[in-house]
Amino acid sequence: MTQAGEAAGESDNGAVWSALSSDYERARAREDSLDTLVEWPAQRALLGDVVGRTILDLGCGNGGKLAELVAAGAGASVGIDVGADLVPARRGLELVQGDLNRFEDLPELTGRTFDRILFLQSFGYATDPVAVLRAARERLTDDGFILLTRTHPLRYARERAEQNGTSLGAEYYAGADFTYRAAWNDAMALTKRTYTIADLLNIFSAAGLWVDAADEPSMSAADAARFPHKKAWMDTYLGILIFRLRPVPGFEERAGQANA
């Protein structure tokens, strides 16, 4: 079994995602995938109207979601991903192979700002989360925001409690890495950093961002009736958290005064 994931070194990320991305995209496209049923609809709702808005998608996967946004009227948009399995470029859509940990160094982004910056389940691959968010904040237009989604921390706690025969509370606060087999390719194991909700809020604050809106999406009654196996999973593991983050006014000035 191959082991990789959020705790892996930066040099491993490209190879890891190249090995997993096609399996992930096939699983995501299924009509009963939680991305189709829960995640993407909730992300779109918090993203709002994209007509004329420029978008930077950091960790865009194959670029399929960003392509949908461009088709819906988004302005000139860019997707960055370490993998090479990208959808064909089209007018208004530029896809670049690169690491989100060093996205600010990409020549394709020189001098550019964006109305919306997305981290759709990619933020866990940031080796320095605060630094990556600060770099993203600096790329926002004056009225821009960041849309960030993460796996619900109780999912990892529940899975690890089952694996270790411990309690939910013990694992929620444990803080250790968690290794598990990928549901969409059980020949590989992912290692993820665990975290609490407070950890996430503190990272946002340290990066000079505040939570404008948040969501913990669940399945609709109609989808739950159609796909009871997915409803049972959601009832146990909860799914994801979504945050809409905006810059804290005057953050840099206050930070400079505090360090003076």
Mean pLDDT of 218-239: 95
- Is 260 part of any domain? no
- Is 128 part of any domain? yes
Mean pLDDT of 78-88: 86
- Is 179 part of any domain? yes
- Is 29 part of any domain? yes
Tell me: pLDDT of 163 over 80.
yes
Question: Can you tell me which residue has the tokens 């999912």?
Answer: 155
CATH number of the domain at 162, please: 3.40.50.150
- Is 53 part of any domain? yes
Question: Taking a C-beta distance cutoff of 8 angstroms, is the pair 115, 51 a contact?
Answer: no
Question: Which pLDDT score is estimated for 18?
Answer: 63
Neighbours of 251 (CB within 10 A): 17
> Rounded CA gap, 39 and 215, in Å?
10
Question: Can you tell me which residue has the tokens 């049923």?
Answer: 37
pTM of the entire structure?
Answer: 0.89
> Rounded CA gap, 79 and 4, in Å?
23
Mean pLDDT of 59-73: 94
> Rounded CA gap, 174 and 195, in Å?
9
- Is 240 part of any domain? yes
Domain extent at residue 53:
2-255
Question: Can you tell me which residue has the tokens 């444990």?
Answer: 174
Q: Which SS3 state, helix, strand or coil, does residue 47 take?
A: helix
- Is 238 part of any domain? yes
Question: How many domains does one find in the chain?
Answer: 1
Question: Taking a C-beta distance cutoff of 8 angstroms, is the pair 114, 143 a contact?
Answer: no
pLDDT band at residue 15 using 50, 70 and 90 as cut-offs: low
